[in-house]
Amino acid sequence: MQIVENSKIQEKIYIEKLSNGLKVIVIPKKTQKKYIIWGVNYGSIDHKFTVDDREITVPDGIAHYMEHKLFEQENGTNSLDVLSSMGVNANAYTTNNHTAYLFEDNNDKFFEALDEFMNYVQNPYFTDENVEKERGIIEQEIMMYDDYPDWKLYMNVMKAMYHKNPINIDVAGTKETIAEITKEKLYDAYHAFYRPDKMAIVVCGDFEPTKVIEEIEKRMTLENNKQTITRIYEEEPDEIVKDRMEAEMNISMPLFMIGYKDTISVENQIKKDLALEIIFNILIGDSTELYQTLYEEGLLQTEPTFIYENSNTYSHVLIEGQSQQYDEVIKRIEAGIEKLKQNGIQDEVFERTKKKLYGEFVKSYNDAGNIATSFVQNYFRDINPLDYFEEFNGLTKEYTMQILNSVFQKDKKVVSIVKSK
């Protein structure tokens, strides 16, 4: 067993690779809450791949469809209902690059719930009838997300940025693509990606690491798959598709999102992530002159949010906010970026912001669910979240300026607006 320790935040992480190739990560925490999340390195963008020499294309939305279908068992029960009846809070989600199944226990039912949890993920039951039954449910979900202004805002940014990368397609697919999903295609995708070497289980709570790892291994039935899986992605041009997209919806306050399409790189992603967080906080954090001015003028009511998403096929930064005068706010933010580029970052401001972010990272380690989710999400980026604390030490103003100049380029900028009808 590998033990990773961080003395600064007094955390120990226990990592065990099981005989079938699955990684189990245990983060002991003296809390009543026990949290487990099972991540699969299979997301919405993985719709074309080879299994050995056989090329397979599956419909858009199939990863999300499978997440729904795995709860249904051959005995007629639904595992989500079974877990809820035990008093545990169970859920699942699908993203661009991974799918996750999870539950949270506050009632000492963890190992009882673990039986059901590990059974349904490892034993898919797809039939023509139950696949067809799910289609209407997924269609309703797609229609529901179409009515979410924030989702429309985000998807329009992806469509404005990306020509061929499937990140510009809704995670749930479309009514047309899910109509093509069959039990055979679900089994193709399941057997390709639901395999131990493409999975990780993270457990956080009041556990003895060796015992919980043994309990997980006892319930493992998946075997290591010897087939070679290769994901196929079309080459994405560097250029954006268009610089602006607008939509009208029934909302009281218009939404805006500024996106910058970034170049895919193999540099230190933790270091870059931290540099971008510092840039955003210095640019328009709640204590900055720019935000205070926009607030006092009534142009912004709340601090904008910042997102950095990256993988080996896409990379971008997003700034989202609400304003009746969105174009004026966007213009001021762009001017703030150019001013920061020209004038540079003051030493005192850089160090103060760095300390503030460090404190926020430390505080995030108080919640078992946040910790476990962070480890799963970062595992598929080949990142150990504890390394963030080490990277803070070596982060310099000069490197941060380098990231500012390389990422925030005018010809890579897109704008998405959702305004009131």
Q: Regarding predicted confidence, which is higher, 257 or 359?
A: 257
How many whole angstroms from its chain centre is CA 248?
A: 27
Instruction: Let me know whether 42 and 140 are in one domain.
Output: yes
Instruction: Let me know whether 291 and 388 are in one domain.
Output: yes
Task: For the chain, give the percent of residues with pLDDT over 90.
Answer: 80
The answer to whether position 131 is within a domain reads yes
pLDDT tops 90 at residue 300: yes
pLDDT tops 80 at residue 217: yes
Instruction: Let me know whether 167 and 258 are in one domain.
Output: no
Mean pLDDT of the 307-333 span: 95
CA distance 6 to 49: 38
Instruction: Let me know whether 215 and 267 are in one domain.
Output: no
Query: Which pLDDT score is estimated for 67?
Result: 96
CB-CB neighbours of 369 under 10 Å: 16
Planar angle of CA 217, 40, 133, nearest 5 degrees? 105
Last residue of a domain, one of 171, 202, 231: 231
Closest CA to 244 of 157, 317, 163: 157
Counted domains in the chain: 2
The answer to whether position 316 is within a domain reads yes
CA distance 387 to 15: 15
Helix axes 347-364, 387-394, angle to 10 degrees: 170
Mean pLDDT of the 110-130 span: 95
> pLDDT of 51-68, one tens digit each?
998 999 999 999 999 999
Instruction: Let me know whether 155 and 265 are in one domain.
Output: no
Q: Regarding predicted confidence, which is higher, 390 or 96?
A: 96
CB-CB neighbours of 375 under 10 Å: 23
Lowest mean pLDDT among 7-11, 253-257, 308-312: 7-11
Last residue of a domain, one of 162, 196, 231: 231
Instruction: Let me know whether 112 and 261 are in one domain.
Output: no
Query: Which pLDDT score is estimated for 345?
Result: 95
Lowest mean pLDDT among 4-18, 246-260, 366-380: 4-18
The answer to whether position 236 is within a domain reads no
Query: Which pLDDT score is estimated for 233?
Result: 93
Planar angle of CA 187, 193, 196, nearest 5 degrees? 120
Which residues make beta-bridge pairs with 258? 319, 415
The answer to whether position 237 is within a domain reads no
Amino acid making up residue 99: T
Q: Identify the burial level of 303 via C-beta atoms within 10 angstroms of its C-beta, where 0-12 means exposed, 13-18 middle and 19 or more buried.
A: middle
Query: Which pLDDT score is estimated for 421?
Result: 85
Long-range contacts of 393-397 (CB under 8 A, 24+ apart): 394/271, 395/271, 395/274, 395/275, 395/278, 395/354, 397/344, 397/345, 397/347, 397/350
The answer to whether position 238 is within a domain reads no
Last residue of a domain, one of 179, 199, 231: 231
Average pLDDT, the chain: 93
Closest CA to 285 of 315, 319, 308: 319
Instruction: Let me know whether 62 and 22 are in one domain.
Output: yes
CA distance 400 to 72: 48
Question: For residues 421 and 253, is the Cβ–Cβ distance under 8 A?
Answer: no
> pLDDT of 156-178, one tens digit each?
999 999 999 999 999 999 999 99
Instruction: Let me know whether 127 and 217 are in one domain.
Output: yes
Which residues make beta-bridge pairs with 322? 255
Confidence class of residue 266 from pLDDT cuts 50, 70 and 90?
Answer: low
Question: For residues 305 and 321, is the Cβ–Cβ distance under 8 A?
Answer: yes
Containing H/E element for 369?
helix 368-379
Instruction: Let me know whether 178 and 325 are in one domain.
Output: no
> pLDDT of 238-255, one tens digit each?
999 999 999 999 999 999
DSSP state of 166: G
Look up the pTM and report it.
0.92
Q: How many residues are listed for the chain in this entry?
A: 421
Mean pLDDT of the 16-37 span: 93
Instruction: Let me know whether 289 and 168 are in one domain.
Output: no
Mean pLDDT of the 8-35 span: 90
Mean pLDDT of the 126-153 span: 93
Confidence class of residue 140 from pLDDT cuts 50, 70 and 90?
Answer: very high
The answer to whether position 330 is within a domain reads yes
Planar angle of CA 285, 287, 290, nearest 5 degrees? 70
Query: Which pLDDT score is estimated for 42?
Result: 96
The answer to whether position 178 is within a domain reads yes
Question: For residues 304 and 153, is the Cβ–Cβ distance under 8 A?
Answer: no
> pLDDT of 183-195, one tens digit each?
999 999 999 999 9
Query: Which pLDDT score is estimated for 163?
Result: 97
Domain ranges, residue 401: 244-420
Instruction: Let me know whether 177 and 269 are in one domain.
Output: no
Q: Which residues of 9-34 are buried (b: 16+ CB within 10 A; e: fewer)?
A: eebebbbbebebebbbbbbbbeeeeb
Instruction: Let me know whether 225 and 353 are in one domain.
Output: no
Gap between the terminal Cα atoms of the chain:
58
CATH code, domain carrying 186:
3.30.830.10
DSSP 276-335: HHHHHHHHH-TTSHHHHHHHHTTS-SSPPEEEEEE-SS-EEEEEEEE-TTHHHHHHHHHH
The answer to whether position 128 is within a domain reads yes
